[in-house]
Structure 1
Amino acid sequence: MSAPVQIAIAFVSVAVLLGLMAVVKRLAAARDISAEVQRKLVHIGTGLYALSLPWLFTDDWPVYMLVGLTLIVMAILRLPAFAKGGIGETLHGVERQSYGDLLLALAVGTVFLLSDGQAILYILPIATLTLADAAAALTGSRYGRKFFTIEDGQKSIEGSTAFFMITLVIAMVCLLLLSDVSRPNVILLAVMVAAFGTLVEADSWRGFDNFFLPTGLLIFLATHLDSSWQELFLFMGIFMVALVLFLRVAPQFGITTHAARVYVIATFLLISVTAFQNTVLPLLVFVMHAIAHRLNPCKGDYPALDIVAVVALSSFGWLIVGSVVGANALMYYGLMSVGLCVGLIAAGLGRSAIWVRAGAALVVGTGLFGLYSVLMLYNPAFVRWPGDMTAVGALVIVLMVIAVSLQPVLFDTHRAAKLTGLALLVPGLGYGMKVIGA
């Protein structure tokens, strides 16, 4: 298929999405369809179309172009002129704040890239997001009677049950048709996929399940598709023990039960996607955040959840950049984590004298860079290709110490997002310059 034809298909695809939204809006006006049902109708239509992408295009780049176009269109539809009264109302008519429309498009592109042509790694996560997630929402809104609370609302036991059952069926069908997994492992894997997916969906907020659900399932499958049943049982046991222990410890740090479950999920995803030495610093970010929040509470609505979201999204961002560029980004990712820890300590000491917070942040940064240098030695040569990172590390630490120590009040709100953006600045520029120089 020629490039012009694939470009045309990408633009037509966006037009089809807009057409679907227009049809849903008209049906909603004629039949008094609720805002939640409208969102899920668009969600299902978009997801089903996304399932055809590996066969619709002969090259990969038109898929990424389509994802980019969709993100632009979704951003435009968030403008008041379209979100209220226009076709954007099919997505933004609900009262709660959600980024689900943007995250759905981002998830499709991420899963398409990371699945690397393996049908099971693309089809199963996207099918689960499309069908099981919609079924859970619609079942919960229509038949929900028993609810549990998360930070930005509540979800129902009935909806989670529907999610589990539909995911179980999807997983078994996909594993049987798209993989060579042995029959006993098909059952065990399907149950674990359904259970893990249900936990991710139940604990997601602000539409983040549209991203974390498919990417989390992809990571789980990529890690455990070839595992023995003994390894699967061991993983499940460790996960349950960690969940119980963390739920007991979390209240001492002012972490809610919901946030504690999210922390455990994020931890296991990090451990699944990379070697242990590369998870130490990102996990320390969670610890530093808990300490900083206890010393100087962030004024955001859900700070414990925000730190998980930014760490997870930035982790996937570095993974995608490394895959696309072809130059491993783990060393720069580690420096970002060091910078984020330094910034959190400085923000946590925001009520102290400037020399106290600057000195403490500098000491922590120096120690963490030493830890970073040791941890990186355990990585293979292709990870350590950038060479000596002392200069870049020093710049990261100095920037975080100065910026946060001088103006800690700026980080009292949206702390996680602001500090992550600042911590990304030097590693991002350093990675780009190194790649260009190489």
Structure 2
Amino acid sequence: MTPKEIVPPLVLAACFLALFGVAELLYHFGKVRAEWTRKIVHTGTGLLTLLFPLVLVSHWQVLFLCGSFLLILLASLRFGWLPSINAIDRLSYGSILFPVIVYALFVVFRMAGKGLIVFYLPILILAVCDPLAALAGKRFPLGRYRICGCGKSASGSAAFFIAAVAVTVIVVDMLGITQSGKRLCLTVPVTATVSEALGIKGMDNLTIPASVATILWLVL
């Protein structure tokens, strides 16, 4: 491998580790609750992954990054590391599913040949809309309902939908998606909102991007 192939994933790995470090500092010294530091890491890692199609040329580089951090996250659950991510009062598979879905989306993006939207839109909806839904549901817990024993709220789902519409419209416009653009601006938010509601125990980290990627594959 050439330096151009080695350096970018190492720089990105350092950025991810720095983000984890900031979350740990906020948790241990800033006394920020794990629910908040977890969301900071969730959004931050999502935004960092937007660089993958721009600076990484091979799926092997992405596999190295995602595989490495999957091992770190699994070890953190086993040995009690990274409480800024793991010290929550519920069972969640979200953190370990995230690197898996990122790698899968990168492979789909490479194979599909349908442009950056196939990678960017699922990641952005997951990184931006999911935390907003959780925050809205906690701040304004209206219309509570349960899916397989896991609590959800109509207010959280509404916040997710509104944010998903905004993200979809912005991404479609910025990437110049004219064909089927209007259809995407409705079908993607609706599908993603249903997927978020059904995604229990952190499974929405899988159901949201997978459903969005499926819609893009079918519509574009």
Common topology (TM > 0.5): yes
- Answer yes or no: is the 8 Å Cα contact 2:9–2:56 preserved in 1: no
In 1, Cα distance between equivalents of 2:150 and 2:86: 17
Structure 2: which amino acid aligns with 1:95?
D
User: Match of 2:43?
Assistant: 44
In 2, Cα distance between equivalents of 1:61 and 1:114: 14
The 5 A counterparts of 1:200-279 are 200-225=195-220
**1:80 aligns to 2:79 (yes or no):** yes
The 5 A counterparts of 1:349-360 are none
Root mean square deviation, CA, Å: 1.8
SS in 2 for 1:145: coil
User: Match of 2:118?
Assistant: 121
User: Match of 2:86?
Assistant: 92
Structure 1: which amino acid aligns with 2:78?
L
User: Match of 1:105?
Assistant: 99
User: Structure 1 residues 201, 66: closer, same or farther in 2, change over 3 A?
Assistant: same
**1:145 aligns to 2:142 (yes or no):** yes
The worse-fitting range, judged by mean Cα deviation, of 198-207 and 115-124 is 115-124
- Answer yes or no: is the 8 Å Cα contact 2:187–2:215 preserved in 1: no
Offset from partner CA, 1:99-122 (integer Å, 9 cap, x none):
111111011100110122521111
- Answer yes or no: is the 8 Å Cα contact 2:146–2:152 preserved in 1: yes
- Answer yes or no: is the 8 Å Cα contact 1:152–1:206 preserved in 2: no
In 1, Cα distance between equivalents of 2:20 and 2:61: 22
User: Structure 1 residues 45, 94: closer, same or farther in 2, change over 3 A?
Assistant: same
Offset from partner CA, 1:113-153 (integer Å, 9 cap, x none):
01225211111111101101111112212222321112242
Q: Which has the higher contact order (CA 8 A, sep 6+)?
A: 2
- Answer yes or no: is the 8 Å Cα contact 2:157–2:197 preserved in 1: yes
User: Structure 1 residues 29, 143: closer, same or farther in 2, change over 3 A?
Assistant: farther
User: Structure 1 residues 140, 126: closer, same or farther in 2, change over 3 A?
Assistant: same
Structure 2: which amino acid aligns with 1:208?
M
- Answer yes or no: is the 8 Å Cα contact 1:97–1:206 preserved in 2: yes
Percent identity between the aligned chains?
29
Please say which structure displays the higher CA radius of gyration.
1
User: Match of 2:186?
Assistant: 191
In 1, Cα distance between equivalents of 2:91 and 2:13: 24
The 5 A counterparts of 1:354-369 are none
1:37 deviates by 1.3
1:179 deviates by 4.5
State the TM-score, normalizing by the size of structure 2: 0.90
In structure 2, runs of 5+ residues without a counterpart are none
User: Structure 1 residues 199, 81: closer, same or farther in 2, change over 3 A?
Assistant: closer
1:23 deviates by 1.2
State the TM-score, normalizing by the size of structure 1: 0.47
User: Structure 1 residues 146, 101: closer, same or farther in 2, change over 3 A?
Assistant: same
- Answer yes or no: is the 8 Å Cα contact 1:120–1:179 preserved in 2: no
**1:176 aligns to 2:173 (yes or no):** yes
- Answer yes or no: is the 8 Å Cα contact 1:129–1:213 preserved in 2: yes
In 2, Cα distance between equivalents of 1:106 and 1:18: 18
**1:134 aligns to 2:128 (yes or no):** no
Structure 2: which amino acid aligns with 1:89?
P
Offset from partner CA, 1:190-221 (integer Å, 9 cap, x none):
11111110000011112111112112111111
SS in 1 for 2:191: helix
- Answer yes or no: is the 8 Å Cα contact 2:56–2:62 preserved in 1: yes
In 2, Cα distance between equivalents of 1:8 and 1:35: 32
